[in-house]
Amino acid sequence: MKKIILIRHAKSAWDNPWLNDHDRPLADRGKKAAPFMGQKLVKKNIFPDLILSSTALRAKETAILISKEIGYPINKMELIDQLYHSSPSLMMKYLHMQKDHDNIIFLVAHNPGMTDLVNYLGYPLDNLPTAGIVGFQSSVEKWCDLKPENVSFWFYDYPKKGK
């Protein structure tokens, strides 16, 4: 069984309007929300075989903070430049390319692509909030066989949902 955990980066800081968007760091709220969501994943007993993240600073920081909470080695995380503001089809392409021995993959990226991917996979959602997480599972054995028809919704969680 393959499981995908889609994670939108936590809240970013906007106090420097001249900063390149790719280099925008997490806000204080985001620095609290990411570890909190990592703790929620631990409580659900969800641990990744692989974490894929956008190279944007706020996504990378989110992935690192969650990794620390769940005990995932940060040096195993794969940073992919093309995940920065990517489309659902591009995110699916990267999932399709993964090694089949990895069964649980966390994908950390940005809106609107993340919300669009959640909807594409069959869970109706207006907006995936910052640090929001949506899990899907599939009985396929190969990542290349993953498609909306063989994926089912697993769970949805976000920081303001509480404990």
What does the DSSP 8-state code read for residue 138?
E
Backbone angles phi, psi at 126, to 5 degrees: -70, -40
β-bridge pairing 2-8 and 133-138: antiparallel
Query: 58 labelled as ligand-binding?
Result: yes
Q: How many CB atoms lie within 10 A of CB 57?
A: 19
- H helices of 6-112, in order, are 28-43, 57-70, 88-96
Helices 57-70/28-43 angle, 10° precision: 40
**Binding site for substrate: what residues are annotated?**
58
**Binding site: what residues are annotated?**
58
